[in-house]
A and B are shown apart, each in its own frame.
Chain A
Amino acid sequence: MIKNISNLGDAALYCDFGKEVNKETNSQVIKYFKNLKKKEIQGIINLTPSYNKLIISFDLKKTNFNEIKKKIENLDLNETKFEPKKRIEIPICCNDDFSLDIGRLEKKLSLKRDKIYENFLDKEYFCYMTGFIAGMPFLGDLDKNMRADRLETPRVKVPKGSVGLTEQFANVYTFESPGGWNIIGNTPIEIFDSSKIENPNLISPGDTVVFKQISLENYKNYNE
């Protein structure tokens, strides 16, 4: 359930589902998100679900914070059927050219490079949400000893395909973009395909993802 609703600026609601970040809280967020999406409430223009928050942005020309807040508080939650979940394998190359922040992680985590990869690869991760840039999946949970903060100053350009870690999560940069995650490798596959109108995302919230290491040679020939 929503624990608290406040305003984010003058054109959005900030719905807080509690501090805990786990699959249960996240499922609540997704439930609200799917219900609201279906209901198409007048004036709401965007919904952004995340681990434990839902941001609802609206058109200030048509409505305002108090009106939308009332509607959310009185929302009748129907049971929404979730789409079938997928298990997706992502190839990753961890060559020096791609593992931009492995040195930083070795220091921050006090772990050797090989140990970091051993902890990370071939494990199942749950997709909590997608976004930041088109199609970027937020995957959890990393082992406790694998959790590091973001870079102090985010990079202006993170290469497309970069796989990054921060806190209990991993992600994949679907495009070249600014970003502050610790980059440990790169995948040659397309995670977001804008030519698909219905489902441009390879990975959706609720799916499971496993990273499989590939060689540099394999990486180079991957799309041939």
Chain B
Amino acid sequence: MNSFFEVIRGGINTTFQDDGRNNLYHIGIPFSGAMDKRNYILANSLLGNKKNKPVIEFAYQGPLIKYKGNRISFVITGDVIFKLIKKKNEILGNCYENYIIEDGDQIDIISTNKSVYGYFAISGEFDLKYQWGSCSINTKAKIGSNNGEKIQSNQKINISHVKPNQFKKKLNYTNTKIEKIRVIKGTNFNYFSNEGKKTFFEKEFVVSKLADRMGMRLEGPKIENIVDTNIRSEGLIKGVIQVPADGNPIIMLSDHGTIGGYPKIGVVISADYDKLVQLSPGSKIKFQEIELSDAETLFKLYEMETQNLISQLK
């Protein structure tokens, strides 16, 4: 029996994502991959999958999908409101808990709650095309599985290697919202006036509506540049905060352009990235300066925390 999902509603920005692709920055292809790596890894771990298996990532409103095939388990991670619609009843689902579904069941991923991204994983394999070692969809460059396009209403998602999980797995985990984003000073920090630097580290900024997998534009007090509002275009990495001439910071996210020409005032530390991407438009944030060695320690701690969560599932 062929197993597949019928997509009844595609959702706002629903894509297949995995660990992303390496070694292509030099031709302009970004890393991509799941935005919130911890929630991505937890989704696979809750099903006993290998941790780099492709999952469905959704933003704000997720998909409504109908399952056809043999019994299969699924899990949703993040802070997500969803319903499991069976023939006879409907239940409101919990994140970080695996469920078994049968032929004809529907999953309605209604929305993420005070966050942006959620993850849907299955105890089977999505039938996907890989491009440069990854199935991650980059809709801007039309790269990855699903012809580089978002998952759309009325499409079919084929699945192979279906097997339901025998054991119920559950994790008590709450996504905490971050208010202070820790950053290391950028390579153009001295382009900004003392007043501008103070503004950056002391004032509050708001996530604007212009936020997607490529980047997040912030609004707030203008950051004054006293040297040059342009630099020679050069490489970027995720987490870089650029300030163009209008004085409003832009944070580079996983599908970012690989090269940019605006001064870099700071870089978000790796330990805070997963929480940063979950900030929805309207969220308030403040930046806090941190040294490289502290950032490295904080990343180790963050990784240990993730590993602890995974080990609770074994």
Contacts and interface: CB of A to CB of B under 8 A. Distances in A.
Interface string B120-161: 000000000001100000001111000010000000000000
Interface string A9-32: 111101000000100000000000
Given A131-B259, A149-B229, A153-B246, A46 B141 contact: no
B296 A64 contact: yes
Given A7-B184, A9-B269, A53 B25 contact: no
B143 A132 contact: no
Given A21-B232, A45-B22, A153-B246, A132 B269 contact: no
Name, among A21, A48, A136, the residue most crowded by chain B CB atoms within 10 Å (CB to CB).
A48
B52 to A, nearest CB: 13
Contact of A132 (B233, B244, B296): B233
A98 interface: no
B261 A177 contact: no
Contact of B230 (A52, A138, A150): A150
A11 B270 CA distance: 7
Contacts of B141: 133-134, 175, 192, 194
Nearest to B250: A154
Interface residues of B, number: 51
Name, among A45, A55, A150, the residue most crowded by chain B CB atoms within 10 Å (CB to CB).
A55
Given A9-B239, A129-B259, A154-B244, A136 B28 contact: yes
Given A60-B299, A134-B28, A135-B28, A149 B232 contact: no
A200 interface: yes
Contacts of B257: 131-133, 177-178
A35 interface: no
Contacts of A60: 270, 296, 299
A55 B269 CA distance: 17
B28 A51 contact: no
Contacts of A50: 232-235, 259
A57 B25 contact: yes
Contacts of A146: none
Given A9-B237, A10-B296, A152 B303 contact: no
Residues of A in contact with B, size category: 35 or more
Nearest to B261: A150
A138 B235 CA distance: 13
B74 interface: no
B140 A133 contact: yes
A174 B148 CA distance: 15
Interface string B181-193: 0001011000000
B25 A130 contact: no
Interface of B: 22-29, 31, 131-132, 140-143, 148, 184, 186-187, 210, 214-215, 229-230, 232-237, 239-240, 244-246, 257-262, 264, 267-270, 292, 295-296, 299, 303
Given A45-B22, A192-B141, 18 more contacts: A10-B184, A46-B22, A47-B26, A48-B235, A48-B259, A50-B235, A57-B237, A131-B258, A132-B28, A132-B258, A134-B29, A169-B233, A175-B141, A175-B142, A180-B262, A192-B28, A194-B143, A200-B27
Interface of A: 6-12, 14, 21, 33, 37, 45-55, 57, 60-61, 64-65, 129-136, 138, 149-150, 152-154, 156, 166-167, 169, 174-178, 180, 192, 194, 197, 200-201
